[in-house]
Amino acid sequence: MMKGATTLALTALVLAGCSGDTEPAAPAGQNNTSSGNNTSPSNNTMMTTPGNNTMMTTPGNNGTSTTPANNMTNPPPPMFDMNNTTPPSDMGMGMEDMGMDTDMGPVDMGPPPEPMCGNGVIEGDETCDGDCSVDCNDDNACTMDTVSGSPAMCDVVCMNVEVNSSCGPADDCCPMGCMIGEDPDCTLDALDCTDPTTWPADWVALEDEAMMLVNQARTMGGTCGAMSYPAGTMSLTLSPQLQEAARCHALDMAKRNYFGSKSPEGEGVGERVQATGYTYSLAGQDVGAGRATGAPQIQSWLMREGSCVHMLDPKFDDFGIGYAFNDAADNKHYWTQVVADKSSP
């Protein structure tokens, strides 16, 4: 009797765990419309690709796909949109008690750490809280690196001062505010999506315009498919971390000439957001290409149900938009928007 009851209880638990409902948190995202890659307990994925929108929900291993007709309205370069929503995934593994106790013996911790200069403690062979390095090179051609003080006196100070450089000369420095094409050192390879100081000013202006239009849409309210959102929804807050994730994907598409919610290696929005250190319970991504300014791009996303939800749904708190341009790429203009429902600390 006990064995039969246990079997029934386990069966009920398995059935209960196969629900296809959206789960809190799963990294990775793909596609520019409603939901995207979830690496979470239920594995729910909704992907919409340019002109070929597919919505897939996978509880356990059941797949459902719906493919609306191709929707291409603008002349070349082609303009595409994709979106996805993904809860972050728990990448850890639960460990059961294996009933094993092993004495591994003493652990070799290696040599003691080097004395730390300037931490207020005289350590090791320090004669004072110093003996600091005199190498202040920050590997940035746009700064002048100087050293003041001396290790003997424990008062070494590094100064890395940005040089006022004009756009034009080939000196390995792409000055802040110079656009690609205005300076031979301002190239796509010189850009760092994790460093806002390297981002071209004209790209920043386009991103700011697009983010303003998103919040205007939230203020006005609207309908996304069967869902209606009232006017007066609180504005999304710009998150530097989400903007970093958006910029990195937009730049990667522009540099490597592809369009999609995932990188060619399969990295999705979840991985990109988690790499910035941002914690969330739900994240969404929208991708667009071919549109030179923010207004037509935002309008296009508002016409797509999943992207529209990302912009109007009050459950999302933060966002960031990234834009990148490459004249040699097929679509030239590349956009990514990342929205998230921030986790409580």
SS3 letters across the chain? CHHHHHHHHHHHHHHHCCCCCCCCCCCCCCCCCCCCCCCCCCCCEEEEECCEEEEECCCCCCCCCCCCCCCCCCCCCCCEEEEEEECCCCCCCCCCCCCCCCCCCCCCCCCCCCCCCCCCCCCCCCCCCCCCCCCCCCCCCCEEEEEECCCCCCCCEEEEEECCCCCCCCCCCCCCCCCECCECCCCHHHCCCCCHHHCCHHHHHHHHHHHHHHHHHHHHCEEECCEEECCCCCCCEECHHHHHHHHHHHHHHHHHCCCCCCCCCCCCHHHHHHHCCCCEEEEEEEEEECCCCHHHHHHHHHCCHHHHHHHHCCCCCEEEEEEEECCCCCCCEEEEEEEEEECCC
Return averaged pLDDT per consecutive 10 residues of the chain, 345 residues in all.
42 35 37 37 39 40 43 54 63 36 48 62 64 70 79 71 77 77 82 91 95 97 96 96 98 97 96 96 96 97 97 97 95 98 75
d(CA 64, CA 78): 28
Residue 275 near residue 80 (C-beta atoms within 8 A) = no
Which pLDDT score is estimated for 21? 33
Note the pTM of the prediction, 2 decimals: 0.58
At 151 the pLDDT is 64
Q: In the prediction, which pLDDT does 129 show? A: 61
pLDDT, position 67: 42
Q: Which of 217, 226, 239, 224 is nearest to 297 (CA)?
A: 217
Q: What does the alpha-carbon distance between residue 56 and residue 38 come to, in Å, rounded to a whole number?
A: 11
pLDDT at site 237: 97
Residue 311 in tokens: 């912009």
Beta carbons within 8 Å of 327's beta carbon, 6+ residues apart: none
Residue 77 CA from chain centroid, whole number: 26
Taking CB atoms within 8 Å and a gap of at least 24, the contacts of 223-226 are 224/305, 224/308, 224/309, 224/312, 224/313, 225/305, 225/308, 225/309
